[in-house]
Structure 1
Amino acid sequence: MGVIISQIFSRFTYKTPVRILMVGLDAAGKTTLLYKLKLAEVVTTIPTIGFNVETVEYKNISFTVWDVGGQTIIRPLWRHYFVNTQGLIFVVDSNDPERMKEAADELHKMLEEDELRGVAVLVLANKQDLPRAMSVSDITEALSLSAVSQPWFVQASCAVSGAGLAEGLDWLSNQIQKQG
């Protein structure tokens, strides 16, 4: 009898484990976003050399989020994190239009990799609280997302306030559940 109750209880409390890769150019706000999701607070960060990994509980999903440094010298290592990735969060600095072409090139290069074929892509248009922040439609165009065949979504966000993070994770978790 105890086993049956335990099985029933686990159906309601079990969180599906999901592997998420979070990348983007340096200074886009990836680490700040990760710890806002994990701790619900803003932490002081330094440039990530290597990676940070945290488990973030969100609704019925347990996201293991790999935050990989975005410096030019580190980007060739991103591909080592692609295996078994079920969702991709690509973070852009909405306040830095001069680097959107570079961000687009890196994103499209990644999406050509076999390990990321069909993976849902959430673009977090971070730093929307800043005065020069590009709109979602401008970022969509700058990143040439119309050329991307897999599911994608651009969410305006702010790591400092947490604005847009729940909406972005809702979209990503729905896409991952559709993939089965």
Structure 2
Amino acid sequence: MGKLLSKIFGNKEMRILMLGLDAAGKTTILYKLKLGQSVTTIPTVGFNVETVTYKNVKFNVWDVGGQDKIRPLWRHYYTGTQGLIFVVDCADRDRIDEARQELHRIINDREMRDAIILIFANKQDLPDAMKPHEIQEKLGLTRIRDRNWYVQPSVGGPPATYCGEDRDAI
């Protein structure tokens, strides 16, 4: 993934917004990226901000709570966002339509029109979890032609940790 990030971003600082429905795994992923280990988390009320440096790029990651009562506040975080990480609980088939609606609400906002989209297809270790190609279809990503987007499988952390992939190969 490092080669892809370097090609896209070069040497600089990026503002990244991490969103998704509640209990999708956003905070777990954030701290796995930051600390390199799993930590116990509680539901985020408000936001967490961490700087993660990878391949000469400083990512200022804003992890905002995903409870439905907090979602109307997401738009206040859009300004200046260069990348969106949208985390999906792939085992939660009952709420995939809700996730799709929220994703499209975000990316259709004029403040987010230039943001690169990374979908973390999270919780791949759980039984009956939707695979990345199914997430791509269910979220309606194939209809997005004017934006850069990518779906990455994960298990509560960076995908290379769990999927046997070389993080630098992408």
Q: Would you call these one fold, judging by a TM-score over 0.5?
A: yes
Aligned to 1:146: 142
Moved over 6 A (4+): none
Aligned to 1:109: 105
Which segments of 5 or more consecutive residues in structure 1 lack a partner in the other structure? Answer: 1-13, 175-180
| Residue 147 (structure 1) shift | 2.1
Paired with 2:131 and 2:26, the residues of 1 have a C-alpha distance of 19
2:159 counterpart SS class: coil
Does the CA contact (< 8 Å) of 1:127 and 1:158 recur in 2?
yes
The reply on whether 1:133 has 2:91 as its aligned counterpart is no
Greater RCO between the two (CA within 8 Å, min separation 6)?
2
| Residue 170 (structure 1) shift | 6.9
The reply on whether 1:36 has 2:32 as its aligned counterpart is yes
Does the CA contact (< 8 Å) of 1:118 and 1:151 recur in 2?
no
The share of aligned pairs that are identical, in percent, is 57
The reply on whether 1:96 has 2:89 as its aligned counterpart is no
Paired with 2:29 and 2:74, the residues of 1 have a C-alpha distance of 18
Which segments of 5 or more consecutive residues in structure 2 lack a partner in the other structure? Answer: 1-9
Does the CA contact (< 8 Å) of 2:152 and 2:159 recur in 1?
no
2:97 counterpart SS class: helix
More helix by share: 1
- Letter in structure 2 aligned against 1:152: W
Q: Alpha-carbon deviations, 1:43-86, whole Å to 9, x = none?
A: 11110000000000111100000000000000000000000000
Does the CA contact (< 8 Å) of 2:21 and 2:87 recur in 1?
yes
Q: CA RMSD in A?
A: 2.2
- Letter in structure 2 aligned against 1:52: N
Paired with 2:89 and 2:102, the residues of 1 have a C-alpha distance of 14
Give the 5 Å matches for 1:35-74.
35-74=31-70
1:45 counterpart SS class: coil
